[in-house]
Structure 1
Amino acid sequence: MKKLLFYIFALISISGFSQEKDQEKQELMALKKANNFVYEGNEKAINNDFVSAEMAYRKALSQQATSVAGAYNLGTSYYQEGSYNEALYRLQQATKNATSKEEKHKAFHNIGNILMKENKCQEAVDAYKNALRNNPSDNETRYNLALAKKCAEDQKDEQQDDNKDDQNKDQNQDQNQDQNQDQNQDEQKDDQDKQDEGENKDDNQDQGDQDKKDGDDQKDDQGKPKEDKKDQGKGDDQKKDQQPPQPQPGQLSPQQVKNLLEAMNNQEQKVQEKINAEKQKGVKVQTEKDW
């Protein structure tokens, strides 16, 4: 029984080893085909046949997706054609699959060039720094880094100026809005004042017409002012109060009554004096009795 189990295990081990060999063989064949397509693409690129070169590099990646040369060369081909987005994608793919510093350096250097073409200066600075980390002695990368830094600083200053201009523009716009609002309020106030002035003018005109009408009513046919009946009545009453009372028919005036009383008093006084005189004549003088 032990011999049988060992035999089965030995067969399994041999089978697994054989599969690994076949897989390695297939990978080697795919790598060989990929390299052949890369070589073909390079030949086409040298002859400026970028369409055929692109097709060859794509075939290389289809044979081996991790082919750094296929991705790098395809990205470079896109860069030369001006297709910067496709070039950036392929070069980033190359940096992920690269195994050597030299491969990474070249990919990051070309990424920086693409970003500079698109005026993404700060991102280009980061790309060139990554390239120098993998190859600090590359003077071309160092020179491009200096240009990228200067470009990034200029863009930063320009952005600050734009922000300042936008702030000033917004501030001026707010001031203009406030001025327009104040102007509208002043115009509304002027319109209201004119409207009130017009209403007052109409009221004054109506009042003037009414006063003129009342004045005309108070004038007689000859244009002379009429006396108010009520005031005329009061004037008549005042005249009556000022004039002496007139005797009514069949009645004596107060002065006549006064004169009559005085005449009667004088007459009565004369009569009384006469009576008294007569009494004094007839009085006998009483003497003493003679006892």
Structure 2
Amino acid sequence: MKQLIIVACILLQGFALYAQQEKKYIHKGNELYMQKKYAEAEASYRRSVEKSKESVQGNFNLGDALFKQKKFDNAAQKFTDIASSSDNKAVKAQAYHNLGNSLLESKKLEESIAAYKKSLMNNPKDDETRYNLAYAMEKLKQQQQKDKDNKDKDKNKDKKDQKNKDKNQSDKDKKDQDKKDDKDKQDKDKKDQDKKDQQDQQGQQPRPDQLSKEDAERMLEALKNEEKNTQDKLKSKKAKGVKGRIVKDW
């Protein structure tokens, strides 16, 4: 029994020593924190936690030091651990409040809103948490509106791009058609010119079955001369008379 009592005394003395060292590092960390030496304060708080891993004050202050250094993900993890491991509503409320702040700084708006709501469930009278919740909800609303505007803008841009694409295609088709029409016209003009040239050549070279103007005039003149000769012959015959029978008068 004595031996057991001695062992118990030694254990109690050990716990007291660890508690003193824990408080010493927390106190030192608090001094550094007040001097805005957050990295050094973090190191001191970590040493306090090494002495007592269950230290609420040491872990809580460590989370605050991480937050001040903008190590928001690490701070969020620390406050999550505190909130989930503590049965004290006041501690849970404060841990969720700081968790909400860390998530808000990381632009994780929906998660920060959930954290603030959990904080208010444990401490409904905390006006600061209520204000932060309203702020986060307003920021989320603005972000959703911005996302909607950007989506509409992208949609309109896509429509505009498609319209320009269709217009460009239409212009290209029209240009191609114009080129085709020009080529067809050129081909037609060439064919017409070739036909005209051919007709001109045929006009310059009399066909076998056609008479030139000079030949026609010569033939007409010859006909006139022939007709004149014929008329002259007829006139000559009339002047000489026609020989008839001699009828004797018996």
Shared fold, TM over 0.5 = yes
- How big is the shift at 1:98? 2.7
Aligned letter for 1:111?
A: L
Q: Do the aligned partners of 1:102 and 1:135 also contact (CA within 8 Å) in 2?
A: yes
Distance in 2 between residues matched to 1:25 and 1:231, nearest whole Å: 146
Answer yes or no: is the 8 Å Cα contact 2:39–2:69 preserved in 1.
no
Q: More deviation in 105-114 or 28-37?
A: 28-37
1:92 corresponds to: 80
Correspondence 1:111 to 2:90: no
- In the TM superposition, residue 184 of structure 1 has moved relative to its aligned partner by 1.7
Query: Could you say which residue in structure 2 is the equivalent of 1:128?
Result: 116
C-alpha distance in structure 2 between counterparts of 1:50 and 1:155, whole Å: 32
Q: What is residue 222 of structure 1 aligned with on the other side?
A: none
Is the counterpart of residue 41 in structure 1 residue 41 in structure 2?
Answer: no
* 1:61–1:200 distance in 2 versus 1, CA, 3 Å: farther
Post-superposition offset of 1:27:
6.8
Q: Structure 1 residues 212, 147: CA separation in 2 closer, same or farther (over 3 Å shift)?
A: same
2:43 is aligned with 1:55:
yes
Q: Give the 5 Å matches for 1:222-241.
A: 226=206, 228-230=207-209
In the TM superposition, what is the alpha-carbon distance from 1:138 to its structure 2 partner?
A: 1.0
2:202 to 214, 230, 235: 214
Q: Which amino acid aligns with 2:208?
A: K
Q: Quick one: percent identity of the two aligned structures?
A: 28
2: distance between equivalents of 1:52 and 1:37?
Answer: 11
Match of 2:147 in 1: 159
**Which residue type is aligned with residue 211 of structure 1?**
Q
Q: Tell me what 1:246 maps to.
A: none
Which amino acid counterpart does residue 152 of structure 2 have in structure 1?
A: K
Distance in structure 1 (CA, Å) of the matches to 2:149 and 2:8 = 64
The one-letter code matched in structure 2 to 1:107 is: A
Verify: 1:180 aligned to 2:136, yes or no. no
Q: 1:201 to 1:142 in 2, by over 3 A?
A: same
User: 1:67–1:97: 8 Å Cα contact kept in structure 2?
Assistant: no
Gaps of 5+ in 1: 1-13, 219-225, 233-291
Deviations along 1:31-82, one digit per CA (max 9) or x if unpaired, are 5544432232112212222222111112233344444333321221122233
In the alignment, is residue 80 of structure 1 matched against residue 68 of structure 2? Answer: yes
Post-superposition Cα deviations, 1:147-193, rounded to whole Å, max 9, x if no partner, equal: 22222222222222222222222222222222222222112111211
Larger Cα Rg: Structure 1 or Structure 2?
Answer: 1
Verify the 8 A CA contact 1:132 1:138 in the aligned structure 2.
yes
Match of 2:177 in 1: 189
- Name the CA distance, whole Å, in 2 between partners of 1:58 and 1:196: 89
* Cα RMSD, aligned residues only: 3.2
Structure with larger RCO (C-alpha < 8 A, sep 6+):
2
Aligned mates of 1:48, 1:161 — CA distance in 2? 41
What is the CA-CA distance between 1:26 and the residue it aligns to? Answer: 6.7
Cα distance in 2 between the residues matched to 1:168 and 1:174:
10
Cross-structure match for 1:273: none
